[in-house]
Amino acid sequence: MQDTATFQDLLREGADASVDGWDFSWFDGRATEQRPSWGYLKLMAAQMRVARAALDIQTGGGEVLSEVPAFPPVTVATEHWPPNLRLARRALEPRGVRVVDVAEDAPFPFPDETFALVVSRHPNVVLWDEIARVLTPGGRYLAQQIGPGSNRELAQFLTGPREISDERSPARAAADARAAGLVIDELRHEALPTTFNDVAAVVHFLRKVIWTVPDFTVDRYRARLADLHDHIRHHGPFVAHAQRILVRAHKPEH
């Protein structure tokens, strides 16, 4: 009975936690994810120091962009999900960043050749043609993207074996960037351990990072969550691997 009660409490805790924004501090002590070796924030901050105009695509709640010490004279961020949009405006607009409501799959509402720098961390949709269009000649694109089959071990524990699409692969990113007229300067891929210490962390993660198991609900996957809870109790933390890609590219001069 105690095990069942603990499991129910953990499910409730994970289900009740807010998923607004991209602040992952809730996971402290419950889950960890190794960070890529390239240090995206440091790379972005260095590019921001020398750009005259920059665009951050799908900024979330502005958590990463707000860590940049100094912004270019013109800095714009896009976001669409209302809870994140509110957080981003609260964090970024006092520092002079304009936050624009733009859907992930919508054309950018900006003129051609507006930005010397376009950045994005974990975009759900990458519109390469739009990125190339709004970059100035010689302008740069910097992104940390989600790689193919990210945290597949967790997804497959819940859903069973699944085919891993090449949609998010480094090769696909390179091909799409080149097709849009960009030149690839650097392309790196790393698989990084993600460790879950309890099933509440799993529930919260799957509610927050919705592309891992797109049809996830606690009720739909309750039986497999119970199996995962037992697995963690008997074998220790559950380890999956986040897939991350670094893309650095530029738009050729005319």
Predicted local confidence at residue 4, as pLDDT: 54
Please report, in angstroms and rounded to a whole number, the separation of the first and last CA atoms in the chain: 71
Distances (CA, A) of 189 to 60, 87, 206, 249: 23, 30, 23, 15
From the number of C-beta atoms within 10 Å of its C-beta (0-12, 13-18, 19+), residue 101 rates as middle
DSSP state of 253: P
**pLDDT (tens place) for every residue of the chain, 254 residues total:** 345 559 999 999 999 999 887 778 899 999 999 999 999 999 999 999 999 999 999 999 999 999 999 999 999 999 999 999 999 999 999 999 999 999 999 999 999 999 999 999 999 999 999 999 999 999 999 999 999 999 999 999 999 998 888 889 999 999 999 999 999 999 999 999 999 999 999 999 999 999 899 999 999 999 999 999 999 999 999 999 999 999 999 999 97
Predicted local confidence at residue 166, as pLDDT: 87
